[in-house]
Structure 1
Amino acid sequence: MKQLEKLLQETDHKSYPAYKRLTGKYNFPGYILSIDHVQGDPFAAPSSLHIALTKEQHKLPEEYYETPHRRVMLQDFILRHFATALREFDRQAKGSGKSGTLSVTHCHQEVLNRSALQINPVTGDLIVRFNVGFPAAGRTTLSMELKKILMTYLPKCVAKALVYSALPADQLSEAIGLADDQQAIRNQLAKHNLIAFVANGSILPRKSGVDDRPMREAIAFQSPAECEVTLSLPGNRSITGLGISKGVTLIVGGGYHGKSTLLKALERGIYNHIPGDGREYVITEETAMKIRSEDGRSVKQLNIHPFIRNLPNNADTTCFSTEDASGSTSQAANTIEALLSGSKTLLIDEDTTATNFMVRDDLMQQVVLKEQEPIVPYISRMRQLYDSFGISTILVAGSCGTYFATADRVIQMKNYKPYDITKKAATAAQTIPVQAVTAPDELLTDFQLDNRIPLPNRAVTGGRKVKVKSTGTDAVSLNHESVELRFVEQLIDIEQSNLLGLFLRHFEEKDFDGRKTLSECVNELYATYEKKGFSAVTHSCDVPGNLAEVRLQEVWAMINRYRGLNLKK
């Protein structure tokens, strides 16, 4: 601490690069402060710092971080409080440009494992990574202003948010208890043959299209009696709600009655949510993938033959490539890629699909004969995907009743309330002849094989430093090569995009060697990430504070949309 104070005095009113001398570690009472990277000037991205506390210093109960689900909730809880503490002192130090800014990751409604705050489950060590704008007047250092931040403001933030005695014990206990409940529900899904659960009393609508907080005075969710299941919770408690079983489930109803709202909640159900969100007890099995059409996307040597065949240009759909996929070919690719990523549940909203990929009615089949149509519609595969491969579908439909003949369960949303109309739909389906387009079973036997072999793309990485940049959740780029992610709808945070960018850089620099298959490259690196954490994809042991967890499914979604993907012919 005294060493830092001395350096601050020596660097005061010097040229801005003098701040570089501050890089290093400094012992403070109760924690260690590390200055990891100093910005180049006061208008550049703020400097990177981290604070480390031992378990003896933070005194958090060990039982709160002994299991992954508890640890992630604990990290999220502390991070939100630390962010609040920093905001109190943001811009209190004077200067130009970004002088005096204090910032850390902004958490949303979902609870994610983030690099901004990590607790080691073995040692109990806590690290929080954040940013500080080092003060300056023009390009002249204002070290005494920086001294306020480092010697006064930060110690107060640590005392307010990073030690157990300062945290609201009741709120923390509630959050940990919620994490236990959420994990208990996840653990019971398979036992009850479920792919999703929506608790009675859940609030599904959001405040607005740009505000993910719960809508005020929204109608609480109430499951139809026929679909209700009761699951056990810790402490001899139970919870009741809608159980969506494995198989084919249709969600139907009139416009604006809540169909897509329910599906959106199920999409986000792969994540846990904070107390008070309204979707705390909306839980979806962890591999569920939202599928949609995506005109213009890139497809590389993918076998889409189960859905697309006999194209008029004689293109080989068992090894299909395009830089400008149509609605139907893009949705076929998205579906096959989801299955290759290990997804066991496909979530589909009719509003964002290619209609000709989903269904062909009887009249169209009579006019355009089967042998003249390259597309095997999804309705013809839905049943077989589940019966043969255990892959479930949850489909929102409002315009076509042909799906009734293939559904295990039909839920109608009416005035924001769900009703089980399975029997009614089945009876109606029997009165109308449906000539579903069927294809030979063997077309679905090889979709799980992926023998693509990637080569390094020197045009992207060769001879220069590889720069990774994210544009929200819309895109991530490797040097000049951008990967469009805006239609990967379960990607919810820019910090997830940041991590995907590091995955892509690692693939290009270290994994794509022309010997391993793409599946081997992706699955092996992801397994390393699960074991080692964020450091598995960084250049060094220094982990940036702007990363958030992603599933294997999103890693696959990113690499499959990478136009720079160079594959052996």
Structure 2
Amino acid sequence: MKTKQDLIQICQRIQGRGYPAYKDCRGEYTCPSYILSIDHVQGDPFAAPSDVSIRVPNTFPKKFHDTKYRRVSLEDRLLRFFVKQLKDDPFRGKGSGKSGVISISKPKQEVLERSAIRVEEDTITLRFHVGFPANGRKVLSLELLRILFDYLPSKIESALLYEKLSETDREALMIAHSLADDQHALREAIKEKGLVAFVANGSILPRKSGVSQKPMEEAVPFLSPSSLEVKIVLPHRKEIKGMGIPKGITLIIGGGYHGKSTLLMALERGIYDHIDGDGREFVVCDPTAIKSRAEDGRSVHNDFIETFIRDLPNHKSTKDFSTEDASGSTSQAASVSESLEAGCKLLLMDEDTSAANFMVRDALMQKVVHRDQEPIVPLVDRIEQLYEMEGCSTILVAGSSGAFFEVADLVIQMDQYIPLNVTDRAKEMALAYPSLCSPHTKEKPEAFYRKRVLLPGPIGSKDRIKVKTQGLDAIILDQEPLDVRLIEQLIDPEQLPTLGAMVLKAHQKYIDGKKTLGEVADLLMEEIEKRGLSVLGKRDFCQVRKQDFMAVMNRYRSQKMKQKR
């Protein structure tokens, strides 16, 4: 392996040459306390910065990384240390284009596994990007040496070497470590207690603004109704209390601006762990939870939606339903079917983002439009069977219709951000409105979904496919935009290139016309689990779920499927 001195000599030799001379720098170099690797060199100073990685010995006590959740917590915390080092003392260089720009993944409120950092038994690898300096298109390689050997070493050592951590950082590391233990214990505890979600007393659910996930200042702390309060013993915080939501059908009701949707949004993100100080550290829900909503105009591939929609006027089959332009009701019926196929055990819904005719049909409408003229069997008539047949619970925000009172197991009213258990009162009052539901449609359905087989497509045979992304809006796969704006549990821009790379890998390696969508998803997740996110390529990748991958495949218009027979 080459040494630091070798790289210095190369940089001295190429100073002032044309920008392609930087290609000579590629390779690994041993430095006093780490190994520097220049993995990819940008084509010109205006292109995306070059890929650089650092490998240091893992000097952290084993307790910080002896389980997956502890390892991910450690990775997240070390990455935050390095980002803070760059922010507190930014590099001030000179040059054209992106000269001297140093960029790296920036974690936010959630703790997510990322390809930017990987902790292994003996080593820690950090990946980031550096704009190699230039004057016009002439190499400023001596400026690069200043970045690599004057600026970065102290940042690397003080962020990645245990013995070099400051007292403040050691304290932050211990807080993150104990929090990870407690969050893991909490998730195990809610499974044992038969709960699908838990919100700790004192949690701060409102966010600072529509563009910030930081906690709102002076927000009302969450306080569980005494009838729903659950006590859970944790390894470090000893004991916490909060609202436990049991399996079954739960309604969240209340007036406008009283916190209904705020509670649901917190539960949506309860699939992720949150950092200390976020306010939602102990807001957790079933890891398979999926937010279901209407998506007018989306594509649907061979879904079984007959349980909710049948006898269409155009005689189109809803047992094997496909469309390039779904309506609100057909898209939400497909969403429920697809969620169950993805192994979802908790559906999250908000009346505001759902198709009204998919949710309920009131008594007057049932009289005016006869059942024989209406192809939709509303969710209110199927929601009990959804739980009985599939074991899938539902948490539903309802602000304008009381139709679900009759079938709900639990009704929570949000009153100025404080939850109240009003189940008994809601049930009693629902007795006066027995016609809100349509019992004649409550016969047991054939099924709620059918498994589907993925068919090979053209991208599987191509050598090079470009995967681009647009924030949290779209994945562009081989120039085809894949709209993911309404997959609401995608929260980090790095999740989109991850999912795009997974779609590509699925086609190149796993899709053979025999495996189901679920089987392909399982194989991909297993490979990532064994080999890490870097198995997908050299971009910045971020943790996603099997459910997220399947949701993306369902919205990929060029993807062909068939139902498994």
Distance 1:236 1:22 in 2: 50
Query: 2:161 is matched with which residue?
Result: 163
Distance 2:187 2:425 in 1: 31
- Pick aligned residue for 2:139 from 124, 138, 141: 141
CA-to-partner distance for each residue in 1:403-422, whole Å, 9 max, x for gaps? Answer: 10011111101111111101
Give the % identical residues. Answer: 49
Distance 1:182 1:93 in 2: 42
Shift in Å, 1:568: 5.4
Q: Secondary structure at the match of 1:295?
A: coil
Q: Secondary structure at the match of 1:50?
A: strand
Shift in Å, 1:90: 3.7
Distance 2:388 2:360 in 1: 19
Q: Quickly say closer, same or farther: Cα 1:236–1:153, change in 2 above 3 A.
A: closer
Distance 1:399 1:478 in 2: 40
CA-to-partner distance for each residue in 1:488-532, whole Å, 9 max, x for gaps? Answer: 000001111111000111122222222333333222222222232
Q: Secondary structure at the match of 1:49?
A: strand
Distance 2:463 2:64 in 1: 45
TM-score, length-scaled by structure 2: 0.96
Shift in Å, 1:455: 2.2
CA-to-partner distance for each residue in 1:81-123, whole Å, 9 max, x for gaps? Answer: 1012123454412111100011110111000001101101xx2
Q: Secondary structure at the match of 1:190?
A: helix
1:90–1:103 contact (8 Å) kept in structure 2: no
Shift in Å, 1:320: 0.4
Query: 1:106 is matched with which residue?
Result: 106
Distance 1:504 1:187 in 2: 31
Query: 1:487 is matched with which residue?
Result: 486
2:252–2:397 contact (8 Å) kept in structure 1: yes
Q: Residues 192-341 of structure 1: matches in 2 within 5 Å? A: 192-235=193-236, 237-341=238-342
- The reply on whether 1:413 has 2:411 as its aligned counterpart is no
- Pick aligned residue for 1:8 from 1, 8, 11: 11
- Pick aligned residue for 2:41 from 13, 38, 42: 38
Q: CA RMSD in A?
A: 1.5
Query: Which segments of 5 or more consecutive residues in structure 2 lack a partner in the other structure?
Result: none
- Pick aligned residue for 1:557 from 527, 547, 551: 551
Letter in 1 for 2:24: R
Query: 1:472 is matched with which residue?
Result: 471
Query: 1:62 is matched with which residue?
Result: 62
Q: Quickly say closer, same or farther: Cα 1:113–1:101, change in 2 above 3 A.
A: same
Shift in Å, 1:232: 0.8
Distance 1:326 1:335 in 2: 14
1:12–1:141 contact (8 Å) kept in structure 2: yes
Q: Secondary structure at the match of 2:429?
A: helix
Q: Secondary structure at the match of 2:435?
A: coil
Distance 1:147 1:427 in 2: 76
1:62–1:124 contact (8 Å) kept in structure 2: no
CA-to-partner distance for each residue in 1:283-335, whole Å, 9 max, x for gaps? Answer: 11100110000000000111111111110011111110000000000001111
Distance 2:174 2:524 in 1: 35
Query: 2:527 is matched with which residue?
Result: 528
Q: Secondary structure at the match of 2:452?
A: coil
Letter in 2 for 1:189: I
After TM superposition, where is structure 1 displaced by more than 6 Å over at least 4 residues in a row?
none
2:303–2:449 contact (8 Å) kept in structure 1: no
Query: 2:503 is matched with which residue?
Result: 504
CA-to-partner distance for each residue in 1:397-449, whole Å, 9 max, x for gaps? Answer: 0000111001111110111111110111011011222352354655243x343
Query: 1:73 is matched with which residue?
Result: 73
Q: Secondary structure at the match of 1:5?
A: helix
Q: Quickly say closer, same or farther: Cα 1:435–1:220, change in 2 above 3 A.
A: closer
Shift in Å, 1:65: 0.5
Letter in 1 for 2:44: D
Distance 2:204 2:48 in 1: 39
Query: 2:387 is matched with which residue?
Result: 386
Letter in 2 for 1:260: S
Letter in 2 for 1:512: I
Letter in 2 for 1:529: I
Distance 2:40 2:143 in 1: 18
2:346–2:395 contact (8 Å) kept in structure 1: yes
Letter in 2 for 1:27: T
Letter in 1 for 2:99: S
Distance 2:562 2:418 in 1: 52
1:89–1:153 contact (8 Å) kept in structure 2: no
1:346–1:394 contact (8 Å) kept in structure 2: yes
Letter in 2 for 1:334: S
1:376–1:437 contact (8 Å) kept in structure 2: no
2:291–2:349 contact (8 Å) kept in structure 1: yes
Give aligned pairs, total: 556
Shift in Å, 1:536: 3.9
Distance 2:560 2:371 in 1: 35
TM-score, length-scaled by structure 1: 0.95
Q: Secondary structure at the match of 2:94?
A: coil
Q: Secondary structure at the match of 1:513?
A: coil
Q: Secondary structure at the match of 1:411?
A: strand
2:259–2:417 contact (8 Å) kept in structure 1: yes
Q: Secondary structure at the match of 1:405?
A: coil
Q: Quickly say closer, same or farther: Cα 1:462–1:527, change in 2 above 3 A.
A: closer
Letter in 2 for 1:565: Q
Letter in 2 for 1:7: I
1:65–1:71 contact (8 Å) kept in structure 2: yes
